[in-house]
A and B are shown apart, each in its own frame.
Chain A
Amino acid sequence: MGEEIRLTVNGEKRVAHAAQNTPLIYVLRNELGLKGTRLGCGANQCGACHVLIDGQSVASCDTPLWAAADKNVVTIEGLGTPAHAHRLQRAFIAEQAGQCGYCLSGIIISAEALLARTPDPTEDEVRAALDRHLCRCGTHNRAVRAVLRAAKDAA
């Protein structure tokens, strides 16, 4: 504990005070108060905790803090807010793409990474991009429709 690691989170420069090996998710949720990134397995197997690090969608439960040092981290809160919604958030609401919603942050983050590299994806490309994400409620098809809808909403 107590080491200082600098990183940029949702556009703001932050200093984390934690051991270098602390999984990033604990720093985001408990030190920086960003509860939108959710812990599902702690082993990079379910996708619930994904965040963007320099544009790559990665599991924050399996990323040590040092690996995010001086990097650009974007969490679900960094995509948009109720007042300034991101197109993916608008699309997920429009498609009512969720039931319990626990998996959604990770899914939306991976969808954002996909749209950044493939602005107009096919349905198969969306499914492939989201394949690391588990959803137990069975809202997969709604999520896929939401991503395709967001792709058409270039704003």
Chain B
Amino acid sequence: MDTSTQSSEGLYYKILIGLLVLTAITFIQPSMFLTDYTVGAQMFIAVIKAWLIVMFYMHLKGEKLIGIFVLSTLAIVAVFFTIVGLDVTSFQYQDISPITKEAVHAVSHH
């Protein structure tokens, strides 16, 4: 699809309304629903907002080549997250690292 046809004013206003509604849901969610899963719910809403912005405001809808590039980048970021996640689950320096609870407790007991 040609980018000029996507970027009509009406579409911009429709996406704005969608984003405003999602922002309102962001505000009411912690006290209204899924209150035990606030972080997950907030991230889910954020991903929907991001999808709307990337597809329509950033004109990625119909951009095959750049779309593949964006997905590739997200995949690389996901690889970083996974490797770091695997690394920190077997962290060997809990007692001396300045970022862990164990080291904080050790300092406070001295």
A, B: real partners: no
Query: Hey, which bits of chain A sit against chain B, CB under 8 A?
Result: none
